With several copies, the nearest count.
Chain A
């Protein structure tokens, strides 16, 4: 889960890593601007590389200039998200830009400390154009870092004299932060040497493991809570998250109600492959309760963009009878008018089928647009029929 720069820097500050003095400003906290020392850098808080080029980083030498530029930035749209906050920091005079990161090496399954004397540019670029400028130090998962190791890293950045010790402390601190907060990435780019020979983390990128956040209750104190890996949640995504349902809004018109995350991914592919447009990704997880199944159906059917529902249940961990019961109860209580084209196979299929047949016979009118196919109907045929149903609805 990628943090905003200001969030990452709050963690840095808590761990004693050197960040420039600064304040966070949103529409309701312009008064924070009184605390800064000019000249300042104004940095829009957005998940974007090359913020400088996109005008998302600006400079101001006095209050009036800062105010104008901040109010200009706030509310801007960028890559689909609105800029709600800026970080205003005292401007550091830069003598040198370096790169320092601790990441998980997915090939080696080990931790990797990476440094470069070419900081301030995309590290992927450095890796391609001058790989010899990139120094790498591997550590085994879970292992502590010895001070000498950190000193080796700092020395590799050719920091010396008092800067060597400052650099050593910084490497120790960043590695311990990486380990201590279950990070996937902890990156400083650029790490700068100021004109008065101090080190500063000018930018900070932290990527947390959402599945380990329970171990770090202090993140909440810092205002950091679970969300998308990158970016904010939509309203429906928030509702789903609260209910423990993995759910992502897409921009199509076919609601996807699958069982299992992997097939959820396959389903949106197949819908697209056959010319339809999925409205969402969803995962029922291992063995969903009936209540959870009904919440899931509600999320789809209440979405005005959704014209038809594609549903699939391969009863493995979860049972077809439970699934059928949930579907029937939802339909009877909510009387949805959108077509629902579904397939049910696997464990307890027969019992599930009986439940649905019985409901149909009692409430035939509610089930007019609802189909539940069986094992012998290939899943892709079900998808094609859903796409046709959605197109008919639109007309």
Chain B
């Protein structure tokens, strides 16, 4: 079984009637993801790509009691409420596509989720894909192929390029997880590394971090405990200080969050550092000592 999502999970889409959400609902369905319902307040009775729309998550789960995963596509000012609603209704995994959620909102939602043992991924995640099984989010399916390498990254496009370079080298992904570009994340590198470590469909992990925050540094000590190799690719070496680079979380604040500090920490605990995207597949193959696909 793949981590986080698999081909047997049932999922719902919050904010399903929005343009992006509707488009990607289509893509997800095409990929085979089991979307059972959508939620947009005030729009009960409508359909999106044949999926029924409900006013509340509670109403939706009343009709589809097996849904355990939700993706959240609502505008940032409604994201906190959408997450809290999902938790209240009994959703177990919440994949938050919405970007630029106010920091205090996300801290609060994260706190509630943690108290109740709920997994939040994101905000500003491109989503999660277990190639050939299920896709939740807006990752382009063309960038991924089934395989035995787990990948985890902060950024969406980097997630695609990492998988792309693995695929071009004949490797594939067990699951690819986008943590998200926002500064406060529901799930961080260490959480996902732990999942991959215990996943028997994964042989090695590629983690792609970027400037800002301390999630990479925090994960470093766990890498030493892992039985599986970790290849790390950190971006932002050329980044200026004190300026957000697109992602709300991608900023060097004072001495915190530089690419150098992350690389030093990861290397210290045994991660193999890739300087470029193109180095990644070579390092994976070298560390596994064999050709895997």
With A107-B218, A283-B245 already in contact, the answer to whether A168 and B41 are too (CB < 8 A) is yes
How far, in angstroms, from A281 to B24 measured CA to CA in the complex? 28
Contacts of B100 in A (CB 8 A): 211
How far, in angstroms, from A147 to B41 measured CA to CA in the complex? 11
Contacts of A124 in B (CB 8 A): 255
Count of A-B contacts with CB under 8 A?
232
Does the CB pair A260–B156 fall under 8 Å?
A: yes
Does the CB pair A263–B155 fall under 8 Å?
A: yes
- Give per-residue flags for B144-165: 1 if the beta carbon is below 8 A from chain A beta carbons, else 0: 0000000001111111110011
Contacts of A346 in B (CB 8 A): 140, 142-143, 160
B: number of interface residues (CB 8 Å) = 79
Does the CB pair A149–B88 fall under 8 Å?
A: yes
Partner of A229, one of B108, B235, B253: B253
Does the CB pair A262–B88 fall under 8 Å?
A: no
With A146-B81, A265-B250, A315-B140 already in contact, the answer to whether A248 and B104 are too (CB < 8 A) is no
How far, in angstroms, from A179 to B243 measured CA to CA in the complex? 23
How far, in angstroms, from A378 to B42 measured CA to CA in the complex? 47
Does the CB pair A262–B153 fall under 8 Å?
A: yes
In the complex, chain A residues 92-137 whose Cβ is within 8 Å of any chain B Cβ: 104, 106-107, 109-111, 124
Does the CB pair A214–B77 fall under 8 Å?
A: yes
Q: Report the minimal beta-carbon distance from B199 to chain A, rounded to whole angstroms.
A: 24
Does the CB pair A109–B184 fall under 8 Å?
A: yes
Q: Report the minimal beta-carbon distance from B187 to chain A, rounded to whole angstroms.
A: 12
Stretch at the interface among A16-24, A60-68, A159-167, A192-200: A159-167
In the complex, chain B residues 59-91 whose Cβ is within 8 Å of any chain A Cβ: 59, 76-78, 81-82, 84-85, 88
Partner of A316, one of B110, B160, B184: B160
How far, in angstroms, from A104 to B103 measured CA to CA in the complex? 9
> Is B237 part of the contact surface with A, judged by Cβ < 8 Å?
yes
Q: Which residues of B contact A (CB under 8 A)?
A: 20, 24, 41-42, 44-45, 55-59, 76-78, 81-82, 84-85, 88, 99-105, 107-108, 110-111, 114, 126, 138-140, 142-143, 153-161, 164-165, 168, 181, 184, 210-211, 213-214, 218, 235-248, 250-251, 253, 255, 259, 275-278
Q: Can you report 28 A-B residue pairs in the complex whose CB atoms are below 8 A from each other? A: A2-B242, A104-B103, A106-B214, A146-B88, A148-B85, A151-B41, A161-B42, A164-B55, A182-B103, A184-B103, A209-B102, A209-B103, A211-B101, A229-B242, A262-B153, A262-B156, A265-B245, A265-B246, A269-B237, A270-B276, A278-B238, A281-B245, A314-B164, A316-B126, A316-B160, A347-B142, A379-B161, A379-B277
Q: Which residues of A contact B (CB under 8 A)?
A: 2, 47, 104, 106-107, 109-111, 124, 140-142, 146-149, 151-152, 155, 160-162, 164-165, 168, 179, 182, 184, 209-212, 214-215, 228-231, 246, 248, 250, 258-266, 268-273, 278, 281-283, 285-287, 314-317, 345-347, 349, 375, 378-380
